Amino acid sequence: MKDLMLLLLFCHVVSPVKHSLKFFFTTSSGAKKFPDFVVVVLIDEVPTGYYDSISKIPEAKQDWSQKMLEDDPQHLEWYTQKCLSTQYSYKAHIDILKQQLNQTEGVHIFQRMDGCEWDDETGEVNGFIQFGYDGEDFLAFDLKTLTWIAPKPQAIITKHKRDRDRPHNERWNYYLTQGCPELLKTYLDYGKSSLLRTELPSVSLLQKTPSSPVSCHATGFYPQRAMIFWRKDGEELHEDVEHGEILPNHDGSFQMSVDLNLSSVTPEDWRRYECVFKLYSVKDDIVNKLDKAVIRTNWVSLSEFPAGPVIGGVVGLLLLLAVCITGVFIWRRKNNDSSSSDPSSVKDAALN
């Protein structure tokens, strides 16, 4: 149930030098065995808070966020009231949208993402709020003009209504540019031992088969503000490479990889290639030279295959199988002989 984050339909890229606070509100209609309202709070993409319409109680997802709620009961009350009021108002929103779009059946999802980013080096702040419906952008707030953007014709009515409410838009502007960044800084102060930590990864070269691309894989790094790439003769490569996404590990760290296609590279030129991992909070890069001796793989060439022991093992298994089969035939034969001598054996078998 709490894996609702898999349903979050917005995508917002985090700059390498920025911290972020994001609130995801999700209202659903027609979904069975699922809360019809869920809130997820992310700090630097790390889940720190959760709320749903079943429990109706905000839940801290990190030790430090739990301590923050304990130290500031008013903040917990603010969260609770924010979630409850939004829950009931968004239930009405999704009902109105279903009527406007003539939708009487099926599962429908209405979402809001709001929050801010703060650059701890330059002090630059950027706020954002977006609405989505059934997986598509529905409405977004323009901080420069304090007006709303409607990418869908169905959102035009809502856009005009919100544009006319200037005081409400001013409040959004204040929250996104001042209130949210201050809240983010408070969170970062409470969670600095976790959120501001630095962990270097283990970097390996992997290859499935001799003809497969070589993958440079980094795992166990934190924070996620990192990049990994291949370079040749000191220059970053953009051709014959494929970048993977940054993925979370179970321990809160991250992993990522980049593949290099070597189909047109001669063995003599391998030494000209190297994989570079860069963590933005660390000065020195991790560099791995392309070397066949260090590539980890799960394939074995025929020349390296231990044919003798394997053949011997196979022969032994065949002999054992032959003995077992012979024993089965002998056992059946003895049972058939005994059955033929006892007429009641068929009845006994049927009863058993």
In a domain, 288, yes or no: yes
Residue 78: inside a domain: yes
Q: Average pLDDT of 132-156?
A: 94
Distance, CA of 296 to CA of 209 (rounded, Å): 10
For residue 46, give the nearest of 77, 14, 73 by alpha carbon.
Answer: 14
Is residue 172 a part of any domain in this protein? yes
Does 38 share its domain with 103? yes
Asked whether 134 and 125 are in contact (CB, 8 A), the reply is no
Of 163, 195, 227, the domain-final residue? 195
CA–CA distance from 335 to each of 182, 338, 345, 346, 348 (Å)? 85, 5, 10, 12, 14
pLDDT tens by residue, 151-192: 989 899 999 999 999 999 999 999 999 999 999 999 999 999
Are 19 and 129 part of one and the same domain?
Answer: yes
**Tens of pLDDT, residues 261-298:** 999 999 999 999 999 999 988 989 999 999 999 999 97
Query: 216 and 167, same structural domain?
Result: no
Residue at 334 is within a domain:
no
Residue 201 has pLDDT above 90, yes or no: yes
- pLDDT of 328 over the 60 cut: no
Let me know if residue 300 belongs to a domain: no
Q: Are the C-beta atoms of 277 and 285 separated by less than 8 Å?
A: yes
Structural domain includes residue 349: no
Residues 41, 187: one domain? yes
Dist CA 66 CA 181 (whole Å): 20
- 144 and 183 in a single domain? The answer is yes
> Does the pLDDT of residue 350 top 50, yes or no?
no
DSSP 171-185: HHHHIIIIIHHHHHH
Q: Answer yes or no: do 166 and 249 share one domain.
A: no
Tell me the C-alpha distance between 226 and 26, whole Å: 30
DSSP string across 62-80? SHHHHHHHHH-HHHHHHHH
Same domain, residue pair 55 and 160: yes
The pLDDT of residue 54 is above 60: yes
For the chain, the domain total comes to 2
Same domain, 137 and 259: no
What is the band of 17 on the pLDDT scale with cuts at 50, 70, 90?
A: low
Say which CATH number the domain at 229 has.
Answer: 2.60.40.10
Domain that holds residue 211: 202-294
Residue 345 in domain: no
For the ranges 227-231, 245-249, 348-352, the lowest mean pLDDT is seen at 348-352
Grouping H, G, I as helix, E, B as strand and the rest as coil, residue 226 is strand
Per-residue pLDDT at 304 exceeds 80? no
pLDDT tens by residue, 234-263: 999 999 999 999 998 988 899 999 999 999
Q: What is the pLDDT of residues 84-94, one digit of tens each?
A: 999 999 998 89
Same-domain check for residues 158 and 223 = no
126 pLDDT band, cuts 50/70/90, is very high
123 and 241 housed in the same domain: no
Number of H helices, E strands in the chain: 8, 17
Same domain flag for 22 and 164: yes
User: Is position 321 within any domain?
Assistant: no
Residue finishing a domain among 279, 294, 309: 294
What average pLDDT score do residues 323-336 get?
Answer: 39
- φ, ψ (nearest 5 deg) of residue 228: -140, 140
Show Cβ contacts of residue 140 under 8 Å, excluding neighbours closer than 6 positions.
Answer: 128, 129, 130, 131, 148, 149, 151
Residues 265 and 136 in one domain: no
- Report the predicted TM-score, pTM, of the whole model to 2 decimal places: 0.69
For residue 336, pLDDT beyond 70: no
The model's confidence at residue 300, banded by pLDDT at 50, 70 and 90, is low
Tell me what the mean pLDDT of segment 37-48 comes to: 93
The whole-number pLDDT of residue 316 equals 47
Q: Which of 294, 321, 339 is the last residue of a domain?
A: 294
